[in-house]
A and B are shown apart, each in its own frame.
Chain A
């Protein structure tokens, strides 16, 4: 083996490594990535509202967060076949020779490298996060958030660079497509490949989306959650044991409401106040969701009793000693919503320990992590 020969780039004689196939797959993949980016952005704002928005986030539609997160996770899963097929199509370009033809070319290749790396890692992180598996050393949320901007940004850059090529191969009859060598032979083969990839997109979607989309629930074979598996008819994300909420901690439980007119209530006193029913979903950031019937005291009734002004933000404190969001804030738009409850009952039964006994928050259009369980203190902030 001559040293030079082993250094020369490999040649690809296989079919369909052409710009028309890349365009046909790329536009679906691009749409998927941008959908994931926008839904991710919405989810981020709802979970960590920036100061100016904190009291103005909409509490409608009731199912807003549920749909947003369902779409986010389903689109991410659907992007897996698309990304692999797209990278397969353009793989020979990795061996472009000469590897670098100047500064502009080097920058272009670097940006494609960033795009590929970010796309692969984002889908990998997301896929593992939905089964709550974290084999990496860094924290998931800030990295997934930062890489989302890197991925969407490098995608736009890629679209700008490739725009003429994409336009030339947008349709079967576009100029560039017609000028491809062997197009007559490749066209039916391409259609068959796209059908195969489309079938894979359909298959992975149909067997997972039932974790949030009720009509497809019977086909939920690979979803990490199933809305019907869980105590009191609802899945549990963090159990009382995992949150270190012991039976002793709730034995002498009192609800303390701090505000202009502070007061304390026992569970029995709380249960004697006017009770209201809300039909609201628990919708988790990991893409699963389930509807439930809740019964308890309206948050705004509790706040009015404490003499809270109507625009006040509220701090909710939980008994949980492990896991994030033990202390969280609820904006005025949620706190004043008539559907927002400090719930005592779930699907007709008193909350069990894993669902947040003695009392938990349930509000419309909010991520599951903010539906605080084991509530011990409500503070009116001014």
Chain B
């Protein structure tokens, strides 16, 4: 284990050093400070903006989930609790998917009017992105609603079965 760790660390440090060497020697003048500034900028934008926003969103979802549990979670039917517990998770999944699709679509959405070459960005990205958001919403709602519907169908069937007996 230790030997492997030392080997990994040495290889890693050497590759890191080689990358810095390439950045310094194989690029045109001014690239090093520019790249450093963009590297720092990437961290500042993520750690100062993106991550706090995601955390806030997560906290809001958490509060929403707790309220749902307080209101519905302790009803007579134990099965209902499961449905309620699933709500924040499904919503979170939907938001992650929608957010990532938006992120990937963003460059095309912003550059659609000025492609550099004739067959670059040939699709209607706004319409496609909205379609995908709609689909994500549909799937999320289905994940929220379907377990409850299935449970209700099951209880109805067992009740009908009992009535026949």
Q: Is the CB of B121 within 8 A of A117?
A: no
B121 touches A224 (CB 8 A): yes
Q: Which of A55-63, A128-136, A336-344, A373-381 contacts B (4 or more CB under 8 A)?
A: A128-136
Interface of A, helix, strand, loop or mixed by DSSP: helix
Contact status B96-A200, CB under 8 Å: yes
Q: How far is the CA of A200 from the CA of B47 in the complex (A)?
A: 21
A163-B1, A196-B96 known; A14 and B59 CB under 8 Å?
Answer: yes
Binds B, one of A86-94, A256-264, A304-312: A86-94
B12 touches A156 (CB 8 A): yes
The stretch that binds B, out of A119-127, A291-299, A356-364, is A119-127
Judge whether B92 and A354 touch: CB under 8 Å.
no
Cβ distance A84 to chain B, nearest Cβ, rounded Å? 7
Min CB gap A243→B, angstroms: 10
Known contacts A149-B22, A196-B97, A204-B100: does B31 contact A160 (CB below 8 Å)? no
Chain B residues within CB distance 8 Å of chain A: 1, 4-6, 8-9, 11-20, 22-23, 26-28, 30-31, 34-35, 38-40, 42-43, 46-47, 50-51, 54-55, 58-59, 62, 85-86, 89-90, 92-94, 96-97, 99-101, 103-105, 107-108, 110-111, 115-123, 125, 128-129, 131-132, 136
Chain A: CB-nearest residue to B94: A196
Set of chain B residues within 8 Å of A200, measured between Cβ atoms: 96-97, 99-101
Q: List 17 A-B contacts (CB under 8 A).
A: A88-B55, A117-B42, A120-B42, A121-B38, A131-B108, A138-B38, A149-B22, A150-B19, A152-B19, A153-B11, A156-B8, A161-B9, A203-B136, A223-B123, A224-B121, A237-B120, A239-B118
Query: Are A146 and B23 CB-contacts (below 8 A) given A196-B92, A222-B101, A354-B118?
Result: yes
